[in-house]
Protein backbone atom coordinates (compact mmCIF):
# COMPACT_ATOMS: atom_id res chain seq x y z
CA UNK A 1 0.00 0.00 0.00
CA UNK A 2 2.82 2.38 0.79
CA UNK A 3 4.27 1.93 -2.70
CA UNK A 4 0.88 2.70 -4.20
CA UNK A 5 0.56 5.78 -2.02
CA UNK A 6 4.02 6.98 -3.05
CA UNK A 7 3.16 6.39 -6.72
CA UNK A 8 -0.15 8.24 -6.44
CA UNK A 9 1.51 11.12 -4.62
CA UNK A 10 4.26 11.35 -7.20
CA UNK A 11 1.82 11.16 -10.10
CA UNK A 12 -0.34 13.87 -8.53
CA UNK A 13 2.71 16.11 -8.18
CA UNK A 14 3.59 15.40 -11.81
CA UNK A 15 0.10 16.36 -12.96
CA UNK A 16 0.09 19.51 -10.85
CA UNK A 17 3.46 20.63 -12.21
CA UNK A 18 2.62 20.06 -15.86
CA UNK A 19 -1.06 21.00 -15.75
CA UNK A 20 -1.04 24.44 -17.35
CA UNK A 21 -4.68 25.06 -18.15
CA UNK A 22 -6.35 28.43 -18.34
CA UNK A 23 -9.35 29.80 -20.18
CA UNK A 24 -10.00 33.54 -20.14
CA UNK A 25 -13.61 34.50 -20.83
CA UNK A 26 -14.95 38.06 -20.93
CA UNK A 27 -18.24 39.90 -21.27
CA UNK A 28 -19.31 43.55 -21.42
CA UNK A 29 -21.66 44.35 -18.53
CA UNK A 30 -22.35 48.02 -19.23
CA UNK A 31 -21.04 51.04 -21.13
CA UNK A 32 -21.49 54.48 -19.64
CA UNK A 33 -20.98 57.51 -21.85
CA UNK A 34 -20.96 61.28 -21.91
CA UNK A 35 -20.17 64.22 -24.19
CA UNK A 36 -18.38 67.35 -22.97
CA UNK A 37 -19.06 70.44 -25.09
CA UNK A 38 -17.17 73.71 -25.31
CA UNK A 39 -17.43 76.69 -27.65
CA UNK A 40 -15.67 79.93 -28.43
CA UNK A 41 -16.80 82.87 -30.56
CA UNK A 42 -15.38 86.09 -31.90
CA UNK A 43 -16.43 88.38 -34.75
CA UNK A 44 -13.12 87.78 -36.53
CA UNK A 45 -12.89 84.00 -36.15
CA UNK A 46 -16.50 82.90 -35.91
CA UNK A 47 -17.90 80.07 -33.78
CA UNK A 48 -15.77 77.03 -32.90
CA UNK A 49 -17.45 74.12 -31.13
CA UNK A 50 -15.72 71.05 -29.68
CA UNK A 51 -17.41 67.80 -28.67
CA UNK A 52 -15.30 65.45 -26.53
CA UNK A 53 -16.85 62.00 -26.12
CA UNK A 54 -16.18 59.73 -23.15
CA UNK A 55 -17.01 56.06 -22.68
CA UNK A 56 -16.80 53.97 -19.52
CA UNK A 57 -17.13 50.22 -20.15
CA UNK A 58 -17.56 47.76 -17.30
CA UNK A 59 -16.48 44.23 -18.18
CA UNK A 60 -16.30 40.83 -16.47
CA UNK A 61 -13.23 38.57 -16.68
CA UNK A 62 -13.26 34.89 -15.73
CA UNK A 63 -10.17 32.66 -15.56
CA UNK A 64 -10.96 28.95 -15.43
CA UNK A 65 -8.10 26.48 -15.08
CA UNK A 66 -5.03 25.90 -12.94
CA UNK A 67 -2.74 28.84 -13.76
CA UNK A 68 -2.94 32.54 -13.02
CA UNK A 69 -2.88 35.23 -15.68
CA UNK A 70 -1.52 38.77 -15.30
CA UNK A 71 -3.45 41.71 -16.78
CA UNK A 72 -1.21 44.75 -17.23
CA UNK A 73 -3.20 47.08 -19.53
CA UNK A 74 -6.63 47.48 -21.11
CA UNK A 75 -6.65 49.79 -24.12
CA UNK A 76 -9.56 50.80 -26.30
CA UNK A 77 -8.99 50.18 -30.01
CA UNK A 78 -11.12 51.34 -32.90
CA UNK A 79 -11.89 48.46 -35.22
CA UNK A 80 -11.25 48.82 -38.93
CA UNK A 81 -14.44 46.78 -39.47
CA UNK A 82 -17.92 47.57 -38.20
CA UNK A 83 -19.04 43.96 -37.64
CA UNK A 84 -15.86 42.49 -36.13
CA UNK A 85 -12.82 43.38 -34.04
CA UNK A 86 -9.88 44.14 -36.30
CA UNK A 87 -7.38 46.44 -34.63
CA UNK A 88 -6.54 49.73 -36.31
CA UNK A 89 -3.87 52.25 -35.34
CA UNK A 90 -6.44 54.27 -33.36
CA UNK A 91 -5.56 53.12 -29.82
CA UNK A 92 -6.67 54.93 -26.65
CA UNK A 93 -5.24 54.41 -23.17
CA UNK A 94 -7.56 54.66 -20.17
CA UNK A 95 -7.76 57.88 -18.19
CA UNK A 96 -5.38 57.71 -15.18
CA UNK A 97 -3.76 54.60 -16.69
CA UNK A 98 -0.68 54.94 -14.48
CA UNK A 99 -2.74 54.58 -11.30
CA UNK A 100 -4.64 51.42 -12.30
CA UNK A 101 -1.87 48.90 -11.62
CA UNK A 102 -1.42 45.24 -12.53
CA UNK A 103 -4.19 42.73 -11.86
CA UNK A 104 -3.69 39.04 -11.09
CA UNK A 105 -6.42 36.81 -12.52
CA UNK A 106 -6.23 33.78 -10.24
CA UNK A 107 -7.50 30.36 -11.34
CA UNK A 108 -11.28 29.96 -11.03
CA UNK A 109 -11.72 33.68 -10.29
CA UNK A 110 -14.18 36.24 -11.63
CA UNK A 111 -13.49 39.98 -11.58
CA UNK A 112 -15.45 43.06 -12.61
CA UNK A 113 -13.39 45.96 -13.97
CA UNK A 114 -14.23 49.46 -15.20
CA UNK A 115 -12.13 51.77 -17.37
CA UNK A 116 -12.82 55.25 -18.77
CA UNK A 117 -11.59 56.56 -22.12
CA UNK A 118 -11.65 59.77 -24.16
CA UNK A 119 -12.61 59.08 -27.77
CA UNK A 120 -13.87 60.85 -30.89
CA UNK A 121 -13.00 64.50 -30.35
CA UNK A 122 -15.02 66.47 -32.91
CA UNK A 123 -14.35 70.14 -33.72
CA UNK A 124 -16.73 72.17 -35.89
CA UNK A 125 -16.40 75.72 -37.23
CA UNK A 126 -19.22 78.11 -38.16
CA UNK A 127 -18.80 81.56 -39.64
CA UNK A 128 -21.48 83.05 -37.43
CA UNK A 129 -23.47 82.57 -34.23
CA UNK A 130 -25.88 80.88 -33.92
CA UNK A 131 -24.99 77.99 -36.21
CA UNK A 132 -27.26 77.36 -39.22
CA UNK A 133 -30.56 75.64 -38.51
CA UNK A 134 -29.40 72.68 -40.59
CA UNK A 135 -26.21 72.18 -38.53
CA UNK A 136 -27.44 69.07 -36.70
CA UNK A 137 -28.54 67.37 -39.93
CA UNK A 138 -25.17 68.10 -41.52
CA UNK A 139 -23.23 66.71 -38.57
CA UNK A 140 -25.37 63.56 -38.38
CA UNK A 141 -24.77 62.96 -42.09
CA UNK A 142 -20.99 63.29 -41.65
CA UNK A 143 -20.54 60.77 -38.82
CA UNK A 144 -21.02 57.02 -39.16
CA UNK A 145 -21.13 54.22 -36.56
CA UNK A 146 -17.82 53.01 -35.14
CA UNK A 147 -16.93 49.72 -33.49
CA UNK A 148 -14.54 49.88 -30.55
CA UNK A 149 -12.83 46.91 -28.88
CA UNK A 150 -10.99 46.39 -25.62
CA UNK A 151 -7.41 45.25 -26.12
CA UNK A 152 -6.24 43.29 -23.08
CA UNK A 153 -2.50 42.96 -22.48
CA UNK A 154 -2.14 39.60 -20.72
CA UNK A 155 0.84 37.50 -19.61
CA UNK A 156 0.65 33.83 -18.63
CA UNK A 157 2.78 31.94 -16.09
CA UNK A 158 5.51 31.36 -18.70
CA UNK A 159 5.77 35.04 -19.59
CA UNK A 160 3.93 34.78 -22.89
CA UNK A 161 2.44 38.12 -23.94
CA UNK A 162 -1.02 38.00 -25.50
CA UNK A 163 -3.27 40.79 -26.77
CA UNK A 164 -6.82 39.46 -27.22
CA UNK A 165 -9.58 41.77 -28.45
CA UNK A 166 -13.07 42.00 -26.97
CA UNK A 167 -15.81 43.87 -28.81
CA UNK A 168 -16.90 46.61 -26.42
CA UNK A 169 -19.44 48.72 -28.28
CA UNK A 170 -20.78 50.19 -31.47
CA UNK A 171 -20.85 53.96 -31.08
CA UNK A 172 -22.32 56.66 -33.31
CA UNK A 173 -21.99 60.40 -32.59
CA UNK A 174 -25.41 62.05 -32.81
CA UNK A 175 -26.47 65.68 -32.75
CA UNK A 176 -29.80 67.11 -31.65
CA UNK A 177 -31.48 70.01 -33.50
CA UNK A 178 -31.01 73.42 -31.92
CA UNK A 179 -33.67 74.97 -29.76
CA UNK A 180 -34.59 78.67 -29.77
CA UNK A 181 -31.93 79.48 -27.16
CA UNK A 182 -29.14 77.29 -28.60
CA UNK A 183 -26.12 78.57 -30.51
CA UNK A 184 -25.08 75.12 -31.78
CA UNK A 185 -26.36 71.51 -31.80
CA UNK A 186 -26.13 69.38 -28.67
CA UNK A 187 -23.85 66.37 -29.10
CA UNK A 188 -24.38 62.92 -27.65
CA UNK A 189 -23.74 59.27 -28.56
CA UNK A 190 -25.85 56.28 -29.49
CA UNK A 191 -24.20 53.19 -27.99
CA UNK A 192 -24.91 49.48 -28.22
CA UNK A 193 -22.81 46.78 -26.59
CA UNK A 194 -22.79 42.98 -26.98
CA UNK A 195 -24.21 40.94 -24.11
CA UNK A 196 -22.74 37.50 -24.85
CA UNK A 197 -19.58 36.21 -23.18
CA UNK A 198 -16.55 35.55 -25.38
CA UNK A 199 -13.64 33.16 -24.90
CA UNK A 200 -10.49 35.22 -25.42
CA UNK A 201 -7.70 32.81 -24.50
CA UNK A 202 -7.43 29.09 -23.90
CA UNK A 203 -4.57 26.72 -23.16
CA UNK A 204 -4.81 23.03 -22.30
CA UNK A 205 -2.47 20.67 -20.46
CA UNK A 206 0.90 20.02 -22.10
CA UNK A 207 0.77 16.23 -21.78
What pTM was computed for the model?
0.85
Mean pLDDT of 5-27: 63
Tens of pLDDT, residues 138-195: 999 999 999 999 999 999 989 999 999 999 999 999 999 999 999 999 999 999 999 9
pLDDT reading at 7 higher than 60:
no
Look up the CATH superfamily of 21-200. Immunoglobulins (2.60.40.10)
Euclidean distance between CA atoms 36 and 6, whole angstroms: 67
Enumerate the domain spans of the chain: 21-200
Amino acid sequence: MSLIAVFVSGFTTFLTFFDERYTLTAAIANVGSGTQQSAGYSDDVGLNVTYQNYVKPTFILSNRGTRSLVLTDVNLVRSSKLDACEASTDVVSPIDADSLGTIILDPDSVQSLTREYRISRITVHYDRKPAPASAADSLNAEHEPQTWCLQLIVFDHRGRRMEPLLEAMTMEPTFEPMGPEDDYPTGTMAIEHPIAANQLLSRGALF
